[in-house]
Amino acid sequence: MRGPDGGFMSAEVGSKAPDFTLMNQDREPVTLSAERGHPVVLAFFPAAFSGVCTKELCTFRDSLAKFNNAKAKVYGISVDTFFTLKAFQTDQKLTFPLLSDFNKEVIRAYGAFNEDMIGLKGIAKRSTFVIDKDGIVRHREVLDDARNEPDYQKVYDTLATLS
């Protein structure tokens, strides 16, 4: 999704969420537009097995009842390979799919591309998006400091307004 200047547009609240197809941890394709009909939460994270990322995804795992109540699906997304994501999912007993944006297209489309984080170039900024059943972005949080966790309550509150 490119803007008028040729650069990538980010997914703003009220705009249509950029569509994508990414491989999950089991090497199965997941297409966002196929998820229409229920809310979707996208949780972009910098790197599997890192401290804050592990805490964040485990928080989402432990809050899955709140997502289920809203009939929402949760996807974790990083630039890690699906091999790494499978090991991370197994190790942390994560109960939702992890998607590999290895080619860094989706993090750009969502404005979550981190040029340089402690020498790691082109990884995801910690970001959360809530997309409604019609594919419209209803919540967006992109953090510049990866040591911070997202505002989970805002994610839950946004989902509550959609159900």
Q: Which residues are catalytic?
A: 53
Cα–Cα dist 30/23, whole Å: 6
CA proximity to 78, closest of 48, 54, 120, 40: 48
Give kind and range of the element (H or E) at residue 154: helix 152-162
Give which of 150, 152, 151 is closest to 46, Cα–Cα.
150
* CB-based burial label for 75 (10 Å; 0-12, 13-18, 19+): buried
Structure tokens that stand for 60 in this block: 């989402």
CA–CA separation, 122 and 100 (whole Å): 13
